[in-house]
Amino acid sequence: MHKDVERIVRDIKSLKIQGARNVARESINALAMAAKSSKARSAAAFRREISAVAYALSSSRPTEPMMRNLLDEAVRQVGEDAKKQRSVAALARLLVARGNATLAKMDADAKKLATYGAKLIPDGALVLTHCHSSSSTRVMIEAKRMRKEFSVVCFETRPRFQGRTTATELAEAGIDVTLTVDGGMNLFMKKADIVIVGADSVTSRGDLINKIGTATLAHIARMNDVSFYSAAELAKYSPMTIFGTREKIEERDPAEVWDKAPKRVRIRNPAFEATAAKYINGYITEAGVIPPQSFFTLATQKLGIKLYE
Ligand code: RUB
């Protein structure tokens, strides 16, 4: 594998590249790099090489269907192209052009999503968020651009402190932001007006898979009658949940929690958890703000998933 592609796989694993969208974008870039640097001598060899790179990327973080969906589609297209086109250089050019189109479409979708989401933030609101989600921060930055007055509390998100990334981004955008400990969720909910988090994955029944701590936030929001939204592009949909397969929850290295833990202390480090659809008021998507029950229909349409022929 090309060394830059290997570096991207490593950076995704180590969370240097984090967040579902960033991971998906970088994986598309990595596939394009692999195509450009391919030494394959036949269309079949090129196709095998691209599939292997896509597999290495997909398995770098198990709970990332957006990356999987985009890579699967790219590999499928290479398969189609290879039936008509024998030149490796031409196949590589097609893959790169499609990758660029995918990235442009992602940008356009992110803009639409941000506009829909920003309208949900009431003037004078206290917004709560968790972890770092580029989709959620875009929503808040767009609300600021619309000249809404609001403040944000974000939770630090142990063990990797993605809350600091959120706080930094929002502060740089001129938004009034407070960073606090994960254990502050209940306390800050009492004054909150709205919760907006991101999404790694959305299942067929509209459940949300997102950073550990998200379900706690959703439950406390419901107890306090605070609206809970997730900013999720439709490509976050996980097709393997159609037949009831559960989205795999990534469990990370225990050393991230405590690198020199005493021998008899067991450490667990789940990165994500599921929040049931019934706690979610809506998903903020590029197609509008939709109830969790509609996500399946819109996402399968958008991704071109056929349930039966
Ligand atoms: C990040 C996380 C984010 C989603 C959505 O977890 O849970 O809420 O990935 O992000 P991690 P985005 O830091 O472990 O990747 O809106 O940018 O797609």
pLDDT digits (tens, 9 = 90+) for 27-77: 999 999 999 999 999 999 999 999 999 999 999 998 999 999 999 999 999
- 164-192 tens-digit pLDDT: 999 999 999 999 999 999 999 999 999 99
Question: Residue 119 is which amino acid?
Answer: K
The verdict on residue 308 lying in a domain is: no
Q: Inform me whether the pLDDT recorded for 85 exceeds 90.
A: no
- 281-296 tens-digit pLDDT: 999 999 999 999 999 9
Ligand 1 within 6 A of 214 CB? no
Q: Which atom of ligand 1 is nearest to the CA of 22?
A: 17
pTM of the predicted structure, to 2 decimals? 0.95
Determine the pLDDT at residue 139: 98
The verdict on residue 309 lying in a domain is: no
Q: Are residues 96 and 127 in the same domain?
A: no
- How many of the other CB atoms lie within 10 Å of CB of 65? 28
Name the active-site residue from 200, 207, 225, 259: 200
Q: Per the structure, how many domains does the chain have?
A: 2
Determine the pLDDT at residue 86: 81
Whose CA is closest to atom 7 on ligand 1?
A: 211
Q: Is 200 a residue of the active site?
A: yes
Q: What are the helix (H) ranges across the chain?
A: 3-13, 20-36, 43-58, 65-84, 88-118, 134-145, 162-172, 185-189, 214-223, 292-303
Q: Note down the domain range covering 147.
A: 119-303
Q: Are residues 125 and 233 in the same domain?
A: yes
**Averaged pLDDT of the chain:** 96
Q: What's the CA gap between 5 and 29, in Å, rounded?
A: 9
Q: Are residues 173 and 295 in the same domain?
A: yes
Ligand 1 within 6 A of 25 CB? no
Q: Are residues 231 and 296 in the same domain?
A: yes
Q: Are residues 59 and 174 in the same domain?
A: no
Name the active-site residue from 109, 131, 154, 207: 131
Q: Inform me whether the pLDDT recorded for 246 exceeds 90.
A: no
- 90-100 tens-digit pLDDT: 999 999 999 99
Q: Which of 111, 129, 153 lies at the terminal end of a domain, its last residue?
A: 111
Determine the pLDDT at residue 204: 96
Q: Is 182 a residue of the active site?
A: no
Q: Inform me whether the pLDDT recorded for 244 exceeds 90.
A: no
The verdict on residue 209 lying in a domain is: yes
Q: What's the CA gap between 106 and 28, in Å, rounded?
A: 11
The verdict on residue 281 lying in a domain is: yes
Q: Are residues 180 and 76 in the same domain?
A: no
> In whole angstroms, what separates CA 265 from the centre of its chain?
32
